[in-house]
Structure 1
Amino acid sequence: MIPPVALAVVLACAGQARAGETSCWFENGAVVAPAVIGVMAGDYVIDLSAPRTLLHNTKAEMEGILEPEITTSVQVAGLKASAVSVKVADLDARGAGFVTPIAGVIGMDVLAGHSVEIDFARCWLRIDRPWRPSRQVVFPVSMIEGLPTVAAGVSDGPRAFYGAFAIDTASRAMTRLSTRDANATGKLNPAARHQAPAKLRALSIGGVLAENVPATLADDLPQGISGTLGTGLWARHRLRLDAEARTLSVAP
């Protein structure tokens, strides 16, 4: 019997899904899609807030890979990137709460320079495909340390600040705040991206205000990025990150 993940990859290669797109699933606050790193097919988190592509060390060890980093090809949604430097990492925390094991994370080192669309309702991932929404809101995107960011403001009541927030497609919280800029009471685990245990008074983006926002902390963000905007914010919409125009389009 062919495993479901391997079958999905075979069907995509056989032309059952058009080049440049694939079905995905939205689970545990993250977008997950079939992909292949080297010869390793599996279920990979699609994370626009990850600067690098990661391979779970358990998956690597099953293939006899013991190095901390490998250079290999990466394939996802019809896109094939060659000679990607892939970091081998312990992703147990990232994989917590998923029904099936997570093989790794596809990051912006693979997706940079491409237009990436995510339809959360149908869970469909499209790369470099036409985009024709009937309605949309468009935000300017700034690249910081290889990550696409949009401007947003947050407030915990007494204090507020405005900054660059990465577009996060792999965290349950509406926002993750950098531990450099935020203080929190209680025990918040920055590695537990499937959880959103805290609340912020407000989040503002593009003149739209959200209140009592599910939030957590992040300790893995580059300097200059204040936080991330996660799937708690995006999940009712379609997103398209346009690498050429440096815009993020959000449609119903």
Structure 2
Amino acid sequence: MSRSAFPLSVLLTLAATPAWAGAAACWFEHGVVVVGAEVMGVPGDYILDTATPHTFLAETQAQTAGYVETALTGDVRVAGMKLRGQKVAVADLDMRTGALPTPIAGVIGADVLKAFVLDLSFAPCRVTLSRAGHAPRFPSRTALPIHWVAERPVVRAAVSDGLQALAGAFAPATGGDTAVRLSDALAGAPGAAKPNELYPYGVLRPRLRALSISGALIENLPAGLIKAEDPGLAGEIGAPLLSRYRLRFDFPARKLLLAPAH
């Protein structure tokens, strides 16, 4: 072997080595986390949402890219990491993205994120994805067990309206637009003039007396409803509340770690 061939073989070996971690800047506005990503070869700004079970490509972007099917399979790139052969649905996301200042290409959901340890800081907004066993140190005194309900990660929490209390499984929603949303099978807002506006991306935000999570009591929260999808899902804890912390979703270890935001 010539001396020049050896460095080349080393470079080829390094190029074939999969990435163990990656990071990207994000932005947090109107209660959702948005990050640059590429889905099915379509680059753009994508909502990062741990409470959305499946990854979506917006209908407009899919049509522009030449896709006519609504169920696709291909590559997803986010925060320097790549997953091949992911199932991607095509959907109209106008209602979900109308309040955001830039076009949204889709949603990166839990089906992609669960392969990684996800670290999220809100100010400044930054996303880090690591393979199991390769995540950086994350100092935290609070660790919540993660379970899965309706293909979403959930943690245990309790809410109260001042008269009644409800404990159950809540999905931490990094793409959730308000602090807390409750399943409409368990809660309601009697007398609301426009009941549809109580649901995601609506304008009505009644106040909830308190939420308790891992011993912390957070009071007087804007709230809303979500459609009941599974009897085991009590609701969502949205990004406006989660932004009080730095988060680590250690999906391989099934733990959510909470650290002070600063």
TM above 0.5, yes or no, is yes
1:133 positional shift: 3.8
Structure 2: gaps of 5 or more residues: 1-19
- Correspondence 1:81-120 to 2 at 5 A: 81-120=83-122
Deviation at 1:220, TM superposition (A): 6.3
Q: Which amino acid aligns with 1:237?
A: Y
| CA RMSD after TM alignment | 1.9
Q: Which residue pairs with 1:49 in the alignment?
A: 51
Q: Distance in 1 between matches of 2:152 and 2:28?
A: 22
Residue by residue over 1:146-169, the C-alpha shift from the partner in whole angstroms, topping out at 9 and shown as x without a partner, is 211110111122222110000110
> C-alpha displacement at 1:196, in angstroms?
6.1
SS in 1 for 2:247: strand
Give the stretch that moved more between structures: 182-191 or 106-115.
182-191
Answering whether residue 164 of structure 2 is matched by residue 159 of structure 1, we say yes
Match of 1:204 among 201, 208, 212: 212
2:224 to 207, 216, 219: 216
SS of residue paired to 1:173: coil
Give the Å deviation of 1:131: 3.5
Separation in 1 of the partners of 2:138 and 2:64? 43
- For 1:33 and 1:46, the matched residues in 2 are separated by 7
The structure-2 alpha-carbon separation of the partners of 1:30 and 1:84, relative to structure 1 and needing over 3 Å to count, comes to same
Q: Deviations over 1:88-131 (max 9, x none)?
A: 11101110211101110000111113110101111100001534
Alpha carbons of 1:55 and 1:155: their partners in 2 closer, same or farther (altered >3 Å)?
Answer: same
Task: State the match for 1:192 in structure 2.
Answer: 200
Between structure 1 and structure 2, the one with the greater Rg is: 2
TM-score w.r.t. the length of structure 2 is 0.84
Task: Go from structure 1 to structure 2 and tell me whether the alpha carbon gap of 1:227 and 1:23 turns closer, same or farther (over 3 Å shift).
Answer: same
Q: 1:225 Cα shift? A: 0.9
User: In 2, Cα distance between the equivalents of 1:195 and 1:37?
Assistant: 30
One-letter identity of the residue aligned with 1:208: A
Which of 152, 155, 170 is the aligned partner of 1:150? 155
**Structure 2 counterpart SS, 1:61:** helix
Aligned equivalents of 1:125, 1:194: Cα separation in 2: 27
How far the C-alpha of 1:170 sits from its partner, in A, is: 0.9
Identity of aligned residues (%): 41
In structure 2, relative to structure 1, the CA distance for the partners of 1:164 and 1:27 (3 Å cut) is: same
Residue 95 and residue 220 in structure 1: after superposition, are their counterparts in 2 closer, same or farther (change >3 A)? Answer: farther
Q: Which residue of 2 aligns with 1:178?
A: 183
Partner residue of 1:68? 70
Alpha-carbon distance between aligned partners in 2 of 1:218 and 1:245, rounded to the nearest angstrom: 28
User: Does the 8 A contact of 1:34 with 1:76 survive in 2?
Assistant: yes
Aligned partners of 1:93 and 1:191 also within 8 Å: no
TM-score, normalization by structure 1: 0.87
Contact 1:190 1:219 in 2 (8 A): no
Shift of 1:178: 1.1
In structure 2, relative to structure 1, the CA distance for the partners of 1:191 and 1:61 (3 Å cut) is: farther
In structure 1, the residue matched to 2:7 is none
Give 2:8's aligned residue.
none
